[in-house]
Amino acid sequence: MLHFLSLHAAELINLCASLILLIAFAMLAQRKILALINLFAAQGLMLCVSTVLVAFVSGQAHLYWSALLTLVLKVLLLPWILHRLIRKLNVKWDVETLFNVSTTMIVGIVLVILAFNLVQPVSQLAGAVTKSTLGIALASVLLAFLMMITRSKAVPQVVGFLAMENGLVLAATGATHGMPMVIEFGIALDVLVGVLILGVFFFQIRERFDSLDTRHLEKLKET
């Protein structure tokens, strides 16, 4: 098994990165809020596997802790919190977008092409194994950002923010074999606290407007 991983590590890392990008497209087109959260968990799982493979190839032991942190936070804890919020808020609506799916996907494809062209000079600085993942990482970040700005509901926008962070972690792993653990734990804590605060924010929006449509916030005026 270890011999197989040594021989095919680069292919497996590229496969995981490709699946992360594919899931990003699926999230962009997804209309069901629960399915969107499940896709985010699946993307976190692929990021975890990719990080383990990079750790095995590069010999960077701290990446195993990074993979464990991703597993606990992105695959288990955050999806559980989001599912709990959905149940508490009794949200039964589908994901609403500002544009139709066809237009959004076309813009997404353009962003992927742009990402690969932008990252080409920078990818020469990365390791040989992870060189091809930088373009995918930037494309995933741009797709997540696109998902944030094309959703009108608060929960999908938060999922888009979390997916953007997945892309940034993939980029850091590919370019520099990850960040120091102190920084990673700090970022993870910030993300967790941010989601908890946004959970309170969701309840306030729901109580005030009986909806989680962030366009209602435009009606707020200073008193």
pLDDT, tens digit (0-9, with 9 covering 90-100), for 22-76: 999 999 888 888 888 999 999 999 999 988 888 888 777 888 888 888 898 889 9
Q: Is residue 185 part of a domain?
A: yes
For a pLDDT cut of 90, what percent of the chain falls above it? 18
Q: Is residue 201 part of a domain?
A: yes
pLDDT at 218 over 80: no
Q: Is residue 61 part of a domain?
A: yes
- State the pLDDT confidence band at 194, using cuts at 50, 70 and 90: low
Domain total of the chain: 1
Average pLDDT of every residue of the chain: 76
Q: Is residue 13 part of a domain?
A: yes
Q: Is residue 220 part of a domain?
A: no
Predicted pLDDT at 223: 43
- Rg (Cα) of the chain, in Å, rounded? 18
Q: Which three-class secondary structure string do you get for 203-219?
A: HHHHHHHCCCEHHHHHH
Q: Is residue 222 part of a domain?
A: no
Summarize the confidence of residues 202-215 as an average pLDDT.
53
Summarize the confidence of residues 102-119 as an average pLDDT.
89
Instruction: Measure Cα distances from 186 to 93, 172, 174 in Å.
Output: 34, 15, 20
- Contact partners, residue 86, CB within 8 Å, separation at least 6: 33, 34, 37, 155
Residue 114: which domain range?
2-215
Q: Is residue 34 part of a domain?
A: yes
pTM: 0.80
Phi-psi region of 99 (alpha: psi -120 to 50; beta: other; left: phi over 0): beta
Q: Is residue 223 part of a domain?
A: no
